Structure 1
């Protein structure tokens, strides 16, 4: 079994053909393929850095929502009075 990818960031016949076809169809596609060939090997590090940054951002959001739930500002009230009243009545009806 061959583990190498057909389209990888290198000057292979497949990537050159895709680049030429991209330029013939719509020139930005050709430039995108050229950029992938030249700088595609850096994508793994970039993806890792972006994932680490977004994990840090969303971890802060999770901590904020945990604090809100502890102080009673969680999902108990939505701000829509009619919906909150209906939901409370339905929950009471289901509890019976």
Structure 2
């Protein structure tokens, strides 16, 4: 490549964005600690850069350590918890315990659903009884007139 191509504005923009993309990928590969260390270092070097880096980290959710926050979401814990430890007895115990807990959770959720349905039915029956009582008194008043 000649120097005119290297110094053109389009190639300089690409190299700058390439630098940031490479740096972001490098920090992502090393985790949340690398992001925090880079942020602290940028504050030491020049505080406005540190402030900009903090804003970037907040906007792009870099404080959560990448994908590690997903393990705390409901239903995805089994993906991270099912890694083998190498101890067959413990792995069997862990798998059985997780299966039992998931079964208990399912049973409890079904119980809560039945409880909600029973409460809704009781409220509806009470409403219908009150409404029926109003209708009877309305018809009684009409007959009495």
Question: In terms of Rg, which structure is larger?
Answer: 2
Q: TM-score range by the shorter chain?
A: 0.3 to 0.5
| TM-score (structure 1 length as normaliser) | 0.38
| TM-score (structure 2 length as normaliser) | 0.27
Structure ranking higher on relative contact order (CA contacts 8 Å, 6+ apart): 1
